[in-house]
Amino acid sequence: MKHLIARALIWSLAFGATALSAHVDSGTDPVELERTYQGALVYVPDAEEGARQIDIAELPAILAASQQPRLVVYLHGCSGIIEIAHAAGLMYGEAGYVFVAPDSFARADKPVSCRPEIPEGGLHRAVLGWRQAEAAYAVTQLRDLPGMKDAPMVLAGHSEGAVTTATFQGLPVDARVIEGWTCNAGWPEYIGLNAPQAQPVLSLVGRRDPWFRLPVLRGDCGEFMDDNDQSVVFRKPDPLYDQHWLSRNPAVQDTILQFLDQALAK
């Protein structure tokens, strides 16, 4: 496996956090996980519209009627399913992918993990385990649908979802896309990549992304990668050098989709 390096740094530095959540850890509660899956944002390819949003209850029938579907399990950021998630759903759907984004905020108990207006994260350290459990649950549910056991599947995420995508382990996917994360942190479980060596990984980050002002958060995922991975770091004078939502840019969308075309063709 790729390096998941433990560093003995003070946990309170990660994402600028100053306190742990007092919430009961219900991260792996099956009832809560089912809520995140049933509340998922789902987009599918559409011959007329390019892509369209559907209810997850419609998904089994659509997949059963599809020929060789490709799946994307998408993990939203700490603000939940907002504009960027819908934009990602349209991008992937128009490119022929079935897009499923579990909704972490569908939980009955959802501690605050960030303050986007500052921006500041790290307000609920255990959220990483919660999000990993949501990803695993979604992957399992999709794999259990008829004909989906061996379907090409991508794990993708933005920001907090990108941390989850980088550190996810235990269930097979075919490629990963990490947007808006450095793979560096003060909490050891947040650091590095935990993907099998043969699994292609693409990461994208702005060198001066405002979410990663602390020195402990700076860097990029490239330092944890091997030869079949790709790290894209936007530096000055590129206008994306200080942006957190990178895939808003059409050129970045092309980079993601071309990477996946090559990764899934292997």
Give all domains of the chain, ordered by start, each with its CATH number: 11-265 (3.40.50.1820)
Closest CA to 71 of 141, 5, 6, 124: 141
User: What's the pLDDT score for residue 24?
Assistant: 58
Distance CA 92, CA 177 (A): 12
**H helical segments located in 115-205:** 127-143, 160-167
Q: What is the pLDDT of residue 266?
A: 73
DSSP conformational letter for 180: S
Nearest CA among 238, 252, 151, 261 for reference residue 203: 252
pTM of the model: 0.91
- Per-residue pLDDT of 99-141, as tens digits, reads 999 999 999 999 999 999 999 999 999 999 999 999 999 999 9
The DSSP-derived string for 101-129 is E--GGGSSS----EETTTTEE-S-TTHHH
| Alpha-carbon separation of residue 47 from 156, 201, 258 (angstroms) | 24, 29, 21
Please list the ranges in the chain whose pLDDT falls under 50.
1-22
> How would you label 178-199 residue by residue, b for 16+ Cβ within 10 Å and e otherwise?
bbbbbbbbbbebbbbbbbeeeb
Confidence at residue 22, expressed as pLDDT on a 0 to 100 scale: 42
